[in-house]
A and B are shown apart, each in its own frame.
Chain A
Amino acid sequence: MPIKHKALNLKEALELYDLLAKFIPKNTDDIIDFAGKIIDNIIKSENSNNYFLSIQLMTGLSEKEILKMNAQEIFIAFCEYIAINRMLDLVEFCKKIGYKNA
């Protein structure tokens, strides 16, 4: 069963940006490459907490529900929802309004 997607309002979108800001790669316009590099950076940082928190935010599922799921499914959902939530546009928007992550 596919993991459900939750549309983000502005507050949630900025929360997602805060969670992933330090893992965002530079000079990438391709959304798949962008999502992949975020995951690479999370793996390098050895801090998976923000990865799970961002999945919770984008799916509306609880931590327990996510941990019961297949890792591959979670990975695919993460990449897909990063694209659906227009993360590249979100980064651009935050730059334009001068928003720096908390």
Chain B
Amino acid sequence: MLIHLCNEEISIERATLKQWIFLDDIKSKTYKSTSRDNVVKYIHLYLSSFLHISEEKLLSCEWFDIALIYYNCLDLNTPNIDFPIFKKTNKDNKDDTLLWNYEGRTWYIWCHELASKYGWSIEYIANMDVDDAIALMQEIIIEKQLDKEWDWVRSENAYVYNENTKKSDFKPLDRPEWMQEHKKHKESATVKYKASMIPLGNVIRFNANQT
């Protein structure tokens, strides 16, 4: 893909996995930023890292050119598949509170998972296509979750004794929101009333005093 910035033609290619993780992190920081300086800093950092252009050059460009190119780059680096794993959940950003979390850890998590599962080298993983990497990562997470559920089914903790029924009820293991089945709209069941519950006497209607 060719883009034009400040009378210069630049050829860009979709980011590979390592670069994509880095850029995605900067993109999130841009959206979370509340100060003007940080927004500008992260947009410039995104573009300078991806396009290999100095910040001085970006500062000399008109804002509209920067905005246009920023969107072109975001579009180019957006995964082509709508992966369920990226569906927003209420438990987002829980990693921020973990004591062992640090800046740039996301890349190592991906690298660790893919290398442990497939035995690939760090260089190979870093240069992977983003769609392939996300799809495989999702499969790894699904497999881990199903393994956990299998262990859970066989453990005592999965069954809670119900004093009313005098039986143990199965309590399923929680799944991430993106793995949960869509809740179907339940059709309301037909309710039958006893004849004794139906009101007695004539029904008075509003129109023309009909009964």
Residues of A participating in the B interface, judged by any CB pair closer than 8 Å: 7-15, 18, 85-86, 89-90, 93, 97-100, 102
Contacts and interface: CB of A to CB of B under 8 A. Distances in A.
Interface of B: 30-31, 33-37, 39-40, 43-44, 58-64, 66-67
B31 A10 contact: no
A8 B67 contact: no
B61 A14 contact: no
Nearest to B71: A96
Contacts of B59: 9-11
Contact of A8 (B36, B44, B62): B62
Nearest to A8: B63
Given A93-B67, A102-B35, A11 B40 contact: yes
28 contacts: A7-B62, A8-B62, A8-B63, A9-B58, A9-B59, A9-B66, A10-B40, A10-B58, A10-B67, A11-B36, A11-B37, A11-B40, A11-B59, A12-B63, A14-B63, A18-B36, A86-B64, A89-B64, A89-B67, A93-B67, A97-B30, A97-B31, A97-B39, A97-B43, A98-B31, A99-B33, A99-B36, A102-B34
Nearest to B30: A97
Given A8-B62, A9-B61, A10-B44, A99 B67 contact: no
B36 A9 contact: no
A93 B62 CA distance: 14
A10 B43 contact: yes
B60 A9 contact: yes
Given A93-B67, A102-B36, 17 more contacts: A8-B62, A9-B58, A9-B66, A10-B43, A10-B63, A10-B67, A11-B40, A12-B63, A14-B39, A15-B36, A86-B64, A89-B67, A97-B39, A97-B43, A99-B33, A99-B39, A102-B35
Contacts of B62: 7-9
